[in-house]
Each structure stands twice: as structure tokens, then as C-alpha cells.
């Protein structure tokens, strides 16, 4: 089955259909430029249809026995497992991901589906005491209604599932706007899995479009009560402002500028392996990727020698080649932007310890050192295989350098003294920090999200329950209240 033939459509109210726009989104293979699909964009009218269908279907879904909702999630999990090979192939084609990276994404998505199966039965009411004699306070946890999900291009199958699966499990309906670079893996494929799992029509809708066509219609539509957005802080700021003006709740998973810190007592060889994974997984196109690698000056020469040798040996090219570790970046615009970024940094005085070439959309890895303290590179997210090496003198300076960023998503510290690492991590302003590991982690039970410009709100586990439900207080007076006037 060709996913790109079957699933490159809008999916609204249980029907696969064309958009009503006057232009197409072209889905390309980023490595070889092959045209995978052409999808006519959805207009604001289709967005409205999708949200209205979700609104209608959600009422009955919320009243459905949660064991029945759980059964749908269980079937979706089984289908995902049965289709692993086909999904992996689609990820390699649409995203330029290597097979190990694609397999990693599918395994992670399965784990999040397993958690959603459990979440279907998780919301529980509470009885709370009252200051008034004879009064019974009941606190109900209810679905919010309809959730709008704006997905990202880098891990689109996983990122979409992270919001869609728990939202559905908890009794909501969902409308998804996948990224233009991943309309099938981040949109149509997810819809197909749930369609085959028996999800009733209207509960999951996919609209493939662009803000140039619909403006703010996806966010500002009156139906959705929560917007779950994954993407850049620049766009996230606009999503937040638009939603806040309409009193909508948001979950914003935004940009990162993570640091991996190597203290003087670290296992240097192990820290090098962690840094390689943290910086170069999926060509560095991961918000949790270690933009900055900070090494204590006393071990900097040893670390740098090992790290640069490993980076220089990374194979870049065809993601289908089992030797490849660095595939293509998302598009030609990003490839050109990365080349320009490196050129500008070198012109400003940085040293290229490893200088990769750009071949089409394949950007070979680069390692830069000697950046000026005020270099703009140190304050931005770099979505590509460019590593920044920095040295520091002592733990206090390391803490200052890590925190000296407008972002606060993830990070890691390496030390042979575990509790020292914990103390270090507690001093960092950020949503997630890891001791003796990589900067890239995402687990179904653990709250995921950032601080500062890296976002607002959390997903996963109990945090997803908080994100996609609301609480309603009902009181019952047994006997008569004595009113104070």
C-alpha cells in the first residue's frame, strides 16, 4: 500500500476528501527530491467543517463508556505494531530520517499509545469536605471538548500521537493541522490508524493547509477549547497571543537551546557518545538537541579530540544506506540557512574544528569553537547538524552559561558523582534536565515541557490529563441551608 497515494487528502467527518483551495502543498522526499504527493489545501471552510464535525461527535464520545474508548485505543496500538515496517518506510521517505531514527519514533509512539489506553480509565472524581454542615462537594474531571493540534515536522508521527491519543482517550474530539513537510506521517497516517481501529466519524479530523490560506482560522475558531502546538517560539508566541485573547487554553512545546555539560570528573568517552547522540539525532532537527556542548577547560583537549574525530567519521547521505547517520535536512531553505549560519560564524571569528559540506539537502556535520560570548548563535535554536563547543572554568561558570539563554527546554550534565549532577541540575532553569545521559528524552509517564521561551504547559502522563480535561464542582445540600440574609 502506498501511504502517499492513499492518505494525501483531507480527512473530515470520516471522509477522505480534497481541500477547497486554489493551490497545492507538494510533499517531497527531502533526500532525492521525489514528489510524493500533491495535496490541495484546506480553506477556512474546511477548517470550520472539521471543527463542527468534531463538536457534534464529541458529545456522544464523552458519554461513551470509557472501556469502549479504551478498546479503540487498544486496536490503534495493535494496528500501529502490525504496520511498523510500512510506517518506518514512510518516515524515511517523507522526512529523510534514517531507519534507526524512524524505528525509534515508531517504538516511542507505541509507548504513548499504551499510556493512552490506561488514560481512558484514569480521570476520577473526588469528594471534598465542606465548611457547611450537610453539604457534599463533588469534583468531576471532564473532557474539555474539542482540541486543536498543530504538529511539527521533525518527529511528526510521535508528536501528533502525543496529543491525539490522550485527548481521544479522555473523551475529546481532535482536529489536527500537520506540518506541510509531514502531511502524511503527521496527519493522514494517524487518521488511517484510528479509522481502522473503529473510531467513530468526526472525532479525529485532519486539515492540511497553511496560514497563508486560512489566517488564524484554526486557532481562533470558536469550537476548540485547547490548542496544542509544537513548533518555533516565534510562531508559538502568536498562537499564545491569539488563543489568550479568546480565553483558550494552550499547551506550547517550543524551541530549545539545550546544553550538555561535561564536568571535570566525567567519563569523557561516554560523554562524547552522549554528545554525539544529543546533537546529531535526526540531523540535529530536534528541539531537545544539544545546541551547546560545554566542557570543563581541564578536560577540553581530550574531549575535543575524541568528539571531533567521531563527528568527522559520521556518514552523511542517503537515509536508506545503513551506514548513514546524517540524512537530509527538511528542505533546501534550511540547508542554505545552515550553510549561511556557519559562514557567518566563521567570518565573526569562530573556528571550524570540523567543516561539513552541503550537498543538496544533505548538510554534513560541523563543529564550531571559539565563538564570542555575545555570538547570536549561542542564543538561538539551530535545527541542523552544527555543534557549538564551549569551555568553562568550574561549576559556577557552567551553571551561569547554561542559564544564560532565553530558552529552557532540556539539558544534561556528566559527572562521576551522581548526586553532584543532581545538585547541578536543580540549579538550572528548565523543564527537563538529565544526569549522565543525553539531552533527548521523552517518556509517556513523565511531564514534558519547557520554561522561558521553550513553552507553556506540559504533556505526557498526568500532565496530559490536566491538559485535556477540566474540573467541574457540583455541590449537594442535604437538608436546608441557613442563608445569611
Give me the residue spans of the domains in the chain: 3-254+454-473, 258-435
Q: 170: Cβ–Cβ under 8 A, 6 or more apart, which residues?
A: 119, 120, 122, 123, 143, 464, 465, 468, 469
**210 pLDDT exceeds 60?**
yes
DSSP states of 202-231:
TSEEE----HHHHTTHHHH-SS-SEEEEES
Separation between Cα atoms, residue 183 and residue 1, nearest integer Å = 17
Q: What pLDDT score does 121 carry?
A: 94
Dihedral angle at the C-alpha atoms of 260, 262, 268, 272, nearest 10 degrees?
20
CATH class of 258-435: alpha beta
Q: What pLDDT score does 398 carry?
A: 98
Neighbour count for residue 474 (Cβ, 10 Å): 10
Question: Does the domain formed by 3-254+454-473 have CATH 2.40.160.40?
Answer: no
Smallest Cα–Cα separation from 24: which of 36, 16, 12, 14? Answer: 36
> What's the CA angle centered on 91, arms 214 and 331, to 5 degrees?
60
What does the pLDDT look like over 243-293, one tens digit per residue?
Answer: 999 999 999 999 999 999 999 999 999 999 999 999 999 999 999 999 999
Q: What pLDDT score does 233 carry?
A: 97
pLDDT band of 2, cuts 50, 70, 90: confident
Q: Do domains 3-254+454-473 and 258-435 have the same CATH topology?
A: no
DSSP states of 78-145:
HHHHHTHHHHHHHHHHHH---HHHHHHHHHHHHHHHHHHHHHTT----EEE--SSTTEEEEEEEEE-S
Q: What pLDDT score does 484 carry?
A: 84
**377 pLDDT exceeds 90?**
yes
Average pLDDT over residues 167-195: 98
C-alpha cell at 194: 484510528
- Residue 322: phi, psi to the nearest 5? -60, -15
pLDDT band of 125, cuts 50, 70, 90: confident
What does the pLDDT look like over 75-99, one tens digit per residue?
Answer: 999 999 999 999 999 999 999 999 9
DSSP states of 23-36:
SEEEEE-TTT--EE
pTM, two decimals, is: 0.96
Mean pLDDT, all residues of the chain: 97
Which residue bears the cell 481521544?
Answer: 168
pLDDT band of 56, cuts 50, 70, 90: very high
Q: How far apart are the first and last CA of the chain?
A: 73
Q: Which residue has the higher pLDDT, 295 or 482?
A: 295
- Please report, rounded to a whole number, the percentage of residues in the chain having pLDDT higher than 70: 100
Average pLDDT over residues 134-140: 96
- Please report, rounded to a whole number, the percentage of residues in the chain having pLDDT higher than 90: 97
What does the pLDDT look like over 16-37, one tens digit per residue?
Answer: 999 999 999 999 999 999 999 9
Q: Which one-letter DSSP state was computed for residue 284?
A: G
DSSP states of 355-386:
---EETTEE--EEEE---TT-GGGGS---SSE
Q: Which one-letter DSSP state was computed for residue 395?
A: H
**1 pLDDT exceeds 70?**
no
Amino acid at each position: 500500500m502506498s501511504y502517499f497515494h492513499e492518505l494525501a487528502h483531507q480527512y473530515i467527518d470520516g471522509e477522505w476528501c480534497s481541500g477547497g483551495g486554489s493551490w497545492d502543498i507538494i510533499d517531497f522526499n527531502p533526500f532525492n527530491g521525489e514528489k510524493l504527493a500533491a495535496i490541495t489545501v484546506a480553506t477556512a471552510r474546511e477548517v470550520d467543517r472539521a471543527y463542527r464535525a468534531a463538536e457534534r461527535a464529541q458529545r456522544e464520545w464523552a458519554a461513551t463508556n470509557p472501556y469502549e474508548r479504551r478498546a479503540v485505543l487498544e486496536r490503534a496500538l495493535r494496528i500501529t505494531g502490525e504496520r511498523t515496517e510500512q510506517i518506518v518506510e514512510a518516515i524515511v521517505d517523507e522526512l529523510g530520517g534514517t531507519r534507526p531514527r524512524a524505528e525509534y519514533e515508531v517504538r516511542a509512539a507505541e509507548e504513548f499509545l499504551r499510556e493512552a489506553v490506561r488514560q481512558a480509565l484514569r480521570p476520577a472524581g473526588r469528594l471534598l469536605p465542606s465548611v457547611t454542615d450537610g453539604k457534599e462537594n463533588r469534583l468531576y474531571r471532564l473532557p474539555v471538548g474539542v482540541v486543536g493540534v498543530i504538529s511539527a515536522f521533525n518527529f511528526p508521527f510521535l508528536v501528533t500521537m502525543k496529543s491525539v491519543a490522550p485527548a481521544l482517550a479522555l473523551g475529546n474530539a481532535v482536529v489536527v493541522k500537520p506540518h506541510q513537510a509531514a502531511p502524511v506521517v503527521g496527519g493522514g497516517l494517524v487518521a488511517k490508524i484510528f479509522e481502522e481501529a473503529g473510531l467513530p466519524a468526526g472525532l479525529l479530523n485532519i486539515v492540511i493547509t497553511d496560514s497563508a490560506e486560512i489566517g488564524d482560522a484554526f486557532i481562533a475558531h470558536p469550537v476548540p477549547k485547547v490548542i496544542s502546538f509544537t513548533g518555533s517560539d516565534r510562531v508559538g508566541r502568536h498562537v499564545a497571543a491569539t488563543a489568550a485573547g479568546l480565553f483558550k487554553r494552550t499547551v506550547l512545546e517550543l524551541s530549545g537551546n539545550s546544553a550538555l555539560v561535561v564536568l571535570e570528573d566525567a567519563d569523557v568517552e561516554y560523554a562524547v557518545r552522549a554528545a554525539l547522540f544529543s546533537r546529531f539525532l535526526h540531523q540535529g532537527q530536534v528541539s531537545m538537541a544539544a545546541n551547546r556542548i560545554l566542557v570543563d577547560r581541564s578536560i577540553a583537549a581530550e574531549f575535543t579530540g575524541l568528539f571531533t574525530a567521531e563527528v568527522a567519521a559520521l556518514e552523511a547521505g542517503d537515509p536508506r544506506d545503513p551506514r548513514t547517520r546524517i540524512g537530509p535536512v527538511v528542505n533546501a531553505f534550511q540547508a542554505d540557512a545552515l550553510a549561511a549560519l556557519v559562514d557567518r560564524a566563521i567570518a565573526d571569528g569562530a573556528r571550524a574544528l570540523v567543516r561539513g559540506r552541503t550537498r543538496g539537502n544533505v548538510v554534513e556535520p560541523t563543529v564550531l569553537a571559539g565563538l564570542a560570548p555575545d555570538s547570536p548563535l549561542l542564543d538561538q535554536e539551530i535545527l541542523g547538524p552544527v555543534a557549538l563547543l564551549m569551555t568553562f572554568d568550574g561549576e559556577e561558570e557552567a551553571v551561569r552559561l547554561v542559564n544564560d539563554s532565553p530558552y529552557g527546554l532540556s539539558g544534561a550534565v556528566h559527572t562521576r558523582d551522581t548526586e553532584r549532577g543532581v545538585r547541578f541540575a536543580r540549579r538550572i532553569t528548565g523543564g527537563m534536565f538529565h544526569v549522565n545521559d543525553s539531552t533527548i528524552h521523552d517518556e509517556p509517564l513523565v511531564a514534558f515541557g519547557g520554561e522561558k521561551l521553550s513553552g507553556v504547559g506540559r504533556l505526557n502522563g498526568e500532565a496530559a490529563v490536566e491538559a485535556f480535561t477540566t474540573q467541574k464542582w457540583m455541590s449537594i445540600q442535604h437538608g436546608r441551608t441557613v442563608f445569611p440574609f
